[in-house]
Structure 1
Amino acid sequence: MSLTQADVRRIARLARLQVNDTEVAEVEQKLNGILGLIEQLQAIDTEGVEPMSHARDVALRLREDVATETNRRAAFQAVAPAVEDGLYLVPKVIE
């Protein structure tokens, strides 16, 4: 697939980008280069290749899910400007 200068102007208008006449040729060349790279990637045979979750085969060290801090909710709410039923009250932003 190859883009024309008219395509570049239309894409720029849809993306709300200002591309003047002197930049159109440069943008066209860059976009066609990107599309060419995508075509090369799509041509690669990936049949039988297992998907990877990470580039390196690593196993994460896991830790126990244990609370290490004490519950200081009452202390934090004691200094809060406004609290009701254990919840922080904030000013209304959207009317």
Structure 2
Amino acid sequence: MNIKWEYNMELKDALFYERIERIGEKNEKKVRCKLCPHNCRISDGKLGICRERANFGGELKTLSWNKVVSMNVEPIEKKPLFHFYP
């Protein structure tokens, strides 16, 4: 799957990865993500299984940096209010 990204998207360098270099394939820019047990081998311009990390020119980047990934809205009446002064 190819990567489609926004023009003003801020990308951060990912942690826990290594570059894969094979003998005779110097232009190949694959990386191996070591964040989870999948150990994805990601080619240049592709995403990992999680669709969260992408390979940009041999460097792994995280796509959710500085974005809200989970949000929950609860009513205030659900919270216990024991001592409240009007």
More relative contact order, 1 or 2 (CA 8 Å, 6+ apart):
2
TM-score of the superposed pair, with normalisation by structure 1 = 0.25
* TM-score (normalised: structure 2): 0.27
Task: Name the structure with the higher helix share.
Answer: 1
Higher Cα Rg: structure 1 or 2? 1
